[in-house]
Chain A
Amino acid sequence: MYQYDEYDQRIVDERVAQFADQTRRYLGGELSDDEFRPLRLQNGLYIQRHAPMLRIAAPYGNLNSKQLRTLGHIARTYDRGYGHITTRQNIQFNWPRLEDVPEILGLLANVQMHAIQTSGNCIRNVTSDPFAGVAADERVDPRPWCEILRQWSTFHPEFAFLPRKFKIAVNGAAEDRAVIQVHDIGLDIVRNAAGELGFRVLVGGGLGRTPIIGEEVAAFVPWQQILNYCEAILRVYNQHGRRDNAYKARIKILVKALGVPEFARQVEAEFAHLEDGPSTLTQAEIDRVASRFTDPVLSPLQADAGYRARLAEDKTFAAWARRNVREHRVPGYASVVLSLKPHGVAPGDLTAEQFDAVADLADRYSFGEVRSTHEQNIVLASVREADLVALWQDARAIGLATPNIGLLTDIISCPGGDFCALANAKSIPIAKAIQERFDNLDYLFDIGDLEINISGCMNACGHHHVGHIGILGVDKNGAEFYQVTIGGQQGNEAALGKVIGPSFAAAEMPDVITSLINNYIDHRHDDERFIDTVRRIGVEPFKTRVYAERGARQQAGEIAHV
């Protein structure tokens, strides 16, 4: 991963000092709540249901073992013994004390980490493909570009107080695993007909209250100009984005209001002034940033006989390998996903001991590095095939080898009403109840690829719109209810799910999922995934089934009164 130089280090150190002073002034009454709020948010600090919540940046998901151990230490010392991987590849702690935050930031700075711009109305942590640099289908490694964007956006003086939060994602592979279509700016690294590198630029995607798929505003921006082009977009947004209504303040609303052609025209007009200006990137800078990524140099290895043999004779291992092991671009290596979704645990949670243990696994098997994923799991990017069995055994011992990656129980969920002050309803208990209902692995394998996303409110931190099954917490006369969508999808074919009908009580949710799954199984063609069946036959048959079976249950008096 990227190694800081003296300048990177100085900036995070100066940030720690700045925030320590701001916190001191706040606690001393010199800064009001309103004045302190944006300052602490731009340091990832929320005031939540129970305590402040601190969100720490994992730039485009990259973490090393030293950092993981520091996170474990923070979980143990300042939290209640666990932390949480977010849907934007960051790490959250739910119980730190405000007074301790400067000290925590100091510990983080010691291991080249920070909480800069993980919240607030500014440019947020840039996200990307967790398999960057190792994926077989990669065109260009997105990480140096992410880092260049991270540096450009860090304390950008013009864009520190935008109308609303601003998220950038970068993809460099054939399959978009960075969900660029639902970001404020989605950058797709491409080559033009002449073979030159550049960016296809999407703008105005986003979930939340008004989910919109981003649209292309430029088919090809030469790589040298990408910061200039982003600056043009941000300037148009900073000046003209709405500030009168937080719900209409995202750039997607501006793009919608102006229309894509007019928005693109304004950006082009601004870009015309910035093109070839001082922020124009140089090959030397790209090479320098790339050189600071400490990637191992891997040469192809022979296929490992022990691994193949184990696959053939050990069904449990084979099941794990099938779901949690991915092809690597170098023969003889694989990428491994550690599942943070054991059934019955809050999705994405890691205990302090697990942080330490994952650090050990990284050191032992994957060159001391891991990546967090927006699906809230952890990737060991480069593992020798010959080590897979040993890694599997070690991961099992710490409860991170559930063979469910991409399956129904690999649920993406926001913290919801258990932690989040904005929630309409709880998310985690719904995830757990569904995991308990579908606890049979053979059945899960038979159901196959299925993504369930849960958000506790319209802010859509659980990305429910793009879940094959999306679950959204809603408030119905003060009671917690859940609205269900199906047909959403992330990736190249990104699509927003459709609501199937009236919402459900919490206790009904496992039954609702069962009805959806049964309908899928009755209608699916060979090897057809849930999402493909939904696309082929439409929402209607699912809807009919769900509400018919619900009616039957109600008549049978099975449903708890709510």
Chain B
Amino acid sequence: MSDIIKNGRIQADDWTVLRLAEGEEAATVALPAGRVIVPLALWQARRDALLEQARAGAVGVWLAGDDDPTALAADLAALPVIAVDFPKFADGRGYSLATLLRTRHGYTGALRAIGDVLRDQFFFLLRCGFSELQPRAGKYTAAQLEAALASLRDFSEPYQGAVDRPEPLFRRQPRRPLAREAA
């Protein structure tokens, strides 16, 4: 069990993220017990065998930064969760991946950030459509994680549109010209 952030709260979570160790093959590696999020290559190699478990809510898929989200286009409705991996928090490809899954592919299910996920990126992650944030294991104490929830709300009215608020500020709020304000 680990903690994730979802709907603005800390929640216990029972998904296991499967990462292939050196020498392990996507086609043959044994799956751990319980609910598991598998790498895209494994999903692609064993899709037929895993599809039912996915539909039953027991198997999800995670994407690496250079994976093409189109690869999951046919499976979006079947997957209970898609995760996007941040190998380093400063590797920003996952933000575009998430945005594309939400806006281009119309994915509406659970979208989870995994890997090097830190509180100072929470706000950006939410804006790009992530609905579940799984902080790097062991990074935060319970108290620190509680405090980290504040980072979800770093900015109240961002300028640009993104997945969470597709309209930019100038469409969301009446912003006034200076002349009228002064009058």
A residues near B, CB below 8 A? 3, 5, 7, 10-11, 14-15, 18, 21-22, 30-31, 35, 38-39, 121, 151-163, 227, 235, 238-239, 243, 273, 277-279, 282, 284-285, 287-288, 291-292, 294
Contacts and interface: CB of A to CB of B under 8 A. Distances in A.
Contacts of A282: 170
10 contacts: A10-B156, A11-B159, A15-B155, A21-B150, A152-B168, A155-B159, A157-B160, A157-B162, A279-B168, A291-B178
Contact of A159 (B95, B175, B181): B95
B13 interface: no
Contacts of B173: 7
Interface string B89-128: 1111101110100011000000000000010110111011
A154 B159 contact: yes
B80 interface: no
A225 to B, nearest CB: 14
B104 A273 contact: yes
Nearest to B126: A157
Given A7-B173, A285-B170, A294 B178 contact: yes
A22 B120 contact: yes
Given A11-B155, A38-B90, 9 more contacts: A10-B157, A14-B155, A155-B159, A158-B128, A160-B95, A238-B92, A243-B91, A278-B167, A278-B171
A7 B169 contact: yes
B159 A158 contact: no
Nearest to B66: A239
**Chain A residues touching B, majority SS:** helix
A38 to B, nearest CB: 5
B93 A239 contact: yes
A346 to B, nearest CB: 33
Interface of B: 65, 89-93, 95-97, 99, 103-104, 118, 120-121, 123-125, 127-128, 144, 150-151, 154-162, 166-171, 173, 175-179, 181
A28 to B, nearest CB: 11
Contact of A35 (B118, B125, B127, B166): B118
Nearest to A31: B120
Contacts of A121: 90, 92
A157 B127 contact: yes
A291 B169 contact: no
Contacts of B151: 18
Given A30-B144, A157-B128, A157-B162, A11 B168 contact: no
A14 B156 contact: yes
B59 to A, nearest CB: 26
B67 to A, nearest CB: 11
Given A3-B178, A157-B162, A278-B161, A35 B92 contact: no
Contact of A157 (B118, B158, B171): B158
Contacts of A284: 170
B96 A238 contact: yes
B175 A239 contact: no
A155 B169 CA distance: 13
Contacts of A151: 159-160, 169
Contacts of B156: 10, 14
Contacts of B99: 158, 235
B70 to A, nearest CB: 12
Contact of A278 (B91, B128, B166, B181): B166
Contacts of B161: 277-279
A274 B54 CA distance: 32
Contacts of A31: 120
Nearest to B154: A18
B96 A158 contact: yes
A18 B119 CA distance: 11
Given A18-B154, A151-B159, A278-B161, A159 B118 contact: no
Given A35-B118, A157-B162, A238 B176 contact: no
B93 A160 contact: no
Contacts of B166: 277-278
Nearest to A35: B118
Contacts of A243: 65, 91, 93
Contacts of B178: 3, 291-292, 294
